[in-house]
Amino acid sequence: VLDDFDASTWVVEPEHPTRSETFRKVVIGKFSSLLVDMDATYPTGVPEFRFFGSETAIGPLRTRLDEGLHEWNPALMPIENLQAILGITFDTPKSGTHAAEFSLECGICY
């Protein structure tokens, strides 16, 4: 599950992800991200979530997640569930772009 996040999303935290870290903070928009913390004992179950970014950017996504969470299917990978529920496709790292550059652009989140 963690390898799927690392391969299919733009992970900004942890900077050098390992399997011992059950969370991933991933880019979901130009100035927004989503922290996903998975349960190591049930990795395809519903994880904990925290959105970062302006309310304008994340408000609609938070609403979709709240309203669609009952559709979570543990037979699917968490990324598949999130993309279906949120109606988005996750960004992948752009050539030459690093997590630090995203963090600098998104300083308001901190």
Question: In angstroms, rounded to a whole number, what is the distance separating the alpha carbons of residues 64 and 69?
Answer: 8
What pLDDT sits at residue 1?
A: 86
- Domain of 7, CATH number, reads 3.10.110.20
> Mean pLDDT by 10-residue block, N- to C-terminus, for the chain (110 residues)?
89 88 90 93 94 93 96 95 94 61 53
What pLDDT sits at residue 31?
A: 84
Whole-model pTM: value is 0.82
* Residues spanned by the domain of 27: 2-109
Cβ atoms of 85 and 65 within 8 Å: the answer is yes
Tally the domains of the chain.
1
SS3 27: strand
Question: In angstroms, rounded to a whole number, what is the distance separating the alpha carbons of residues 18 and 16?
Answer: 7
